[in-house]
Amino acid sequence: MKDQYFGDVNDFFKYGLLRSLTIPDRLSLGVCWMLTEPDGGTNDKLLAYLDQPKKYRHCDPGLFDWLRQVVVVEEDRGTARIAESTLLGSALFKPGYVTDNKHQRSEYFSECASRFAGCDLIFFDPDNGLEIKSTPQGRKGSCKYLYWNEVCATFGAGSSVLIYQHFIREKRGAFITRMAAKLQRLTGAATIFSYRTPNVLFLLASQERYVAGFRRQLAALPSSWAPEQIIGVEHALLQKPGKGQPRVPSENRKRAQLPQEPQRLPPEPVKDWKGPVALRAIDTTNLWRTSKGGVVVNEWMDADRMVGYRLWVLFLEKDVDRSVLFEPFENQGRQLGGMKCAQNCQFWRDLVQEARRDSPVDFQILYGYQPAGN
- We report the CATH number of the domain holding residue 88 as 3.40.50
* Tally of domains within the chain: 2
pLDDT at 282: 77
Give the pLDDT band (50/70/90) at residue 201.
very high
Give the pLDDT band (50/70/90) at residue 263.
very low
Say yes or no to pLDDT of 257 above 70. Answer: no
Residue 248 in domain: no
- Is 205 in contact with 151 (CB distance < 8 Å)? yes
pLDDT at 242: 47
Which distant-in-sequence residues (6+ apart) come within 8 Å of 76 by Cβ? 70
For residue 311, the enclosing domain spans 274-371
Model-level pTM? Answer: 0.64
**pLDDT tens digits along 96-142:** 899 999 999 999 999 999 999 999 999 999 999 999 888 888 899 99
pLDDT at 289: 55
CB atoms within 10 A of CB 296: 10
Q: Are residues 187 and 287 in the same domain?
A: no
Q: Are residues 289 and 225 in the same domain?
A: no
Distance CA 80, CA 333 (A): 60
Rg value, the chain, Cα: 23
Q: Are residues 284 and 229 in the same domain?
A: no
Say yes or no to pLDDT of 268 above 70. Answer: no
Determine the angle formed by the axes of helices 61-68 and 9-22, rounding to 10 degrees: 140
**pLDDT tens digits along 299-357:** 777 766 767 788 888 877 654 556 788 877 665 554 445 677 777 777 787 777 777 77
Q: Are residues 216 and 301 in the same domain?
A: no
pLDDT at 254: 34
Residues 17-45 have a mean pLDDT of 86
Residue 252 in domain: no
Q: Are residues 153 and 217 in the same domain?
A: yes
